[in-house]
Amino acid sequence: MNPLAELLEANERFYSAFNDRDLLALAELWDDSGPVACIHPGWRALTDRHEVLESWRAIFEGGGPDAIDCRAPEALLIGGGDSETLGMVVCYEAIGNALLVATNIFRKGEGGWRLVHHQAGPCNEPPAEAHAKPPLSPLQ
């Protein structure tokens, strides 16, 4: 599989883990070899892996949204040639009637692509493809 397809698959696993309320799967996706950051809409920046994972637990236990529909994901590699170690997915999160724009940054290591950063926030002018419900993926 090419690096962009692998990156999009890792991003899809992130949203599947959220929608399944699978904290263990989320923990496996978040990098544990270096710094991480997570900024949920309206929250302060979290820069400790334990804090990040606890934030997801709080969202799951606190009646967070039932599902996030990831739309119009665009994968970008950071680096050149075969040396890419960072990848970024910019996408839109449909949560009920709300549409957020999100950035998910991954680091590629021995275990594949692992999250190092997630941030989502309001989007006033999303592209048309962000409004369209995507077809079901193999992971759904």
pTM of the model: 0.88
Q: What whole-number distance in Å separates Cα of residue 1 and Cα of residue 124? A: 35
Q: Which residues pair with 98 in a beta bridge?
A: 95
32-58 mean pLDDT? 96
In tens, the pLDDT along 98-123 reads 999 999 999 998 889 999 999 999 98
Residue 83 has pLDDT above 60, yes or no: no
Residue 60 has pLDDT above 80, yes or no: yes
DSSP state of 30: B
What is the pLDDT of the chain when averaged over all its residues? 89
* CATH topology (fold) of 3-130: Nuclear Transport Factor 2; Chain: A, (3.10.450)
pLDDT at 80: 58
DSSP letter string over 32-88? Answer: -SS--EEE-TTSPPB-SHHHHHHHHHHHHHTT--S--EEEEEEEEEESSTT---EEE
pLDDT at 39: 98
Residues in the chain: 140
**Termini Cα distance of the chain:** 19
Pick the closest to residue 15 from 55, 63, 50, 65 (CA basis). Answer: 65
Any idea where the domains of the chain sit in the sequence? 3-130
